[in-house]
Amino acid sequence: MKPRILHLSSLYPPHIVGGAERSVSMLAEAQAAEGWNVAAACLTPSEAVEEERHGVTVFRMPHGNDFWLEDWAAHSQRQREWAKFKQQANFAIERRFGEVLDRFRPNVVHTHSMVDISTRVWHAARARGIPIVHTLRDFDLLCAASSMYRETGPCVGRHLKCRVLTFAKQLDQRLVASVTAVGEEVLSRHLRYGFFGHVPADRRRVIWNTAAVEGVEADYTKPVLTGPITFGYLGRISPEKGVDTLLKAARLLPPNGWRLLIAGAALGDPAPYHALAEGLPVEFIGFQRPKVLFDQIDCLVAPSLWAEPLGRTVLEAYQAQVPVIGARSGGIAEIIADDAWLVPPGDEAALAARMRALLEIGRPGPPKGRARVVARTTPEAVARAFAQVYAQLLQ
């Protein structure tokens, strides 16, 4: 008999802010489709709700924090830091998660992104003798901002403030019985800072996210493009994503023969980005479904400055047969795995040189290594990988 699995993540669809909740729902739904008894718990700004979604029982729990995770920008830095500090002892969410555990009675608790979720929930599972698998999808256990990135650039170590605001997480991580990560870098960094060293090496694994692009099926054929070579960017428009680097690189390209489509929304004032693009063949096209952008571009650019744990847009581009020029950082480099398509993060000259080379060569074909990436990120492949993790834990 297959075990009962309870996933826990900060959010769960249809409430989507980033990639983590999409990845968790894809995994849960793939498991449900294979006959597993699967549930997911998440936070909500309203009252508790239990519902069914695509074969998955979803428990939405009142968050119990000082304010909702999407309202952080409306509060002062001091208020945010105090709220983060208090989150570490959020006994209300421990109690509510305990009620979910008692109702669903899982064999395994599988936790994911813990942004704004107190690790007190691990105590609730441990008190009931339920083993915990944790998947590292960000740096939230190490960093108060979850990214290990500041305005001055990537963090080279853990700052005192982050150590204070996450001290309970470092204590509680010993409750985890098995750890997986979406990338080698995010796993090795946690190990380097003293997290999960107690977990036996054979219970520490890298399992990539499921990647699926709506409208891109097995028989998908990318439209034939004409006209100028079209580069694309997909995602949040913010400094750590390297959009400034991309626009500065574009300034170094020839005046004709190319264009750049930027799909996404800016955090804060978009005016500085529009100023960097002034006079260039650059279009800001707002939020777009991935396939809408991929069908219009010859090459995606992923210029992140921070060490993205994986890089969902890169996986999605490979699914849609779009090659990617990416920053040699974190999970982006792990996916692309071809130096010819990688550039140092923050180096606009190197990025411009790679883009210019593409203009000289002409339209590229599907990305090298696409079959490897697609095979590793199907819902079935990811579900099988986690089935092995659970089986090892329960044997």
Q: Which of 41-50, 206-215, 226-235 has the lowest mean pLDDT?
A: 206-215
Q: Is there a single domain that holds both residue 74 and residue 193?
A: yes
pTM for the full predicted model: 0.91
Instruction: For residue 212, name the pLDDT band (cuts at 50, 70, 90).
Output: confident
- Nearest CA to 297 out of 273, 327, 262 is that of 262
Q: Does a structural domain hold residue 218?
A: no
In whole angstroms, give the CA distance from residue 134 to residue 217: 30
| Percent of the chain with pLDDT strictly greater than 90 | 79
DSSP 286-307: -S--HHHHHTT-SEEEE--SS-
Peptide bond into 62 cis (omega under 30): no
In whole angstroms, give the CA distance from residue 66 to residue 250: 43
Average pLDDT value for residue range 2-14: 95
Q: Taking all residues of the chain, what is their mean pLDDT, rounded to a whole number?
A: 94
> What burial class does residue 303 get, using C-beta atoms within 10 Å of its C-beta: 0-12 exposed, 13-18 middle, 19+ buried?
buried
Q: Which three-class secondary structure state does DSSP give residue 346?
A: coil
The strand order across the sheet containing 49-53 reads 49-53, 56-62, 37-44, 4-8, 108-111, 132-136, 178-181, 204-206
Q: Is there a single domain that holds both residue 82 and residue 153?
A: yes
Q: Is there a single domain that holds both residue 387 and residue 364?
A: no
Q: In this structure, are strands 132-136 and 108-111 parallel, antiparallel, or unpaired?
A: parallel
Q: Are 325 and 354 in contact (CB under 8 A)?
A: yes
Q: Is there a single domain that holds both residue 368 and residue 387?
A: no
Question: How many helices (DSSP H) and strands (DSSP E) are in the chain?
Answer: 15, 16
DSSP annotation of 339 reads G
Main-chain dihedrals φ then ψ at residue 283, nearest 5 degrees: -120, 130
Q: Say which CATH number the domain at 138 has.
A: 3.40.50.2000
Which amino acid appears at position 351 of this protein? L
Q: Is 90 exceeded by the pLDDT of residue 20?
A: no
Q: Is there a single domain that holds both residue 44 and residue 145?
A: yes
- Nearest CA to 213 out of 22, 18, 4 is that of 22
Instruction: For residue 382, name the pLDDT band (cuts at 50, 70, 90).
Output: very high
Q: Does a structural domain hold residue 155?
A: yes
Q: Is there a single domain that holds both residue 21 and residue 42?
A: yes
Q: Is there a single domain that holds both residue 322 and residue 242?
A: yes
Main-chain dihedrals φ then ψ at residue 334, nearest 5 degrees: -65, -35
Instruction: For residue 18, name the pLDDT band (cuts at 50, 70, 90).
Output: confident
Helix (H) / strand (E) element for 165: namely helix 160-165
Query: Which tens digits make up the pLDDT trace of 69-126?
Result: 888 778 898 998 898 899 999 999 999 999 999 999 999 999 999 999 999 999 999 9
Please, which residues have CB within 8 angstroms of residue 123's CB and are 6 or more apart in sequence? 94, 172, 175
Which amino acid appears at position 255 of this protein? P
Higher local confidence (pLDDT), 60 or 148? 60
- pLDDT on residue 323: 97
- pLDDT on residue 46: 93
In whole angstroms, give the CA distance from residue 154 to residue 241: 11
Q: Are 163 and 180 in contact (CB under 8 A)?
A: no
Specify the number of domains making up the chain. 2
Six token digits for residue 208: 């990539």
Q: Is there a single domain that holds both residue 72 and residue 170?
A: yes
Q: In this structure, are strands 153-154 and 149-150 parallel, antiparallel, or unpaired?
A: antiparallel
Query: Which tens digits make up the pLDDT trace of 250-274?
Result: 999 999 999 999 999 887 788 999 9
In whole angstroms, give the CA distance from residue 366 to residue 200: 39
Domain hosting 364: range is 229-375
Burial 60-74 (b: 16+ CB within 10 A, else e): bbebbbbeebeeeee
Instruction: For residue 282, name the pLDDT band (cuts at 50, 70, 90).
Output: very high
The strand order across the sheet containing 324-327 reads 282-284, 258-263, 229-234, 299-302, 324-327, 342-343
Q: Is there a single domain that holds both residue 174 and residue 234?
A: no
Q: Is there a single domain that holds both residue 369 and residue 383?
A: no
Instruction: For residue 179, name the pLDDT band (cuts at 50, 70, 90).
Output: very high
| Percent of the chain with pLDDT strictly greater than 70 | 100
Instruction: For residue 354, name the pLDDT band (cuts at 50, 70, 90).
Output: very high
Instruction: For residue 150, name the pLDDT band (cuts at 50, 70, 90).
Output: confident
Six token digits for residue 7: 């996933």
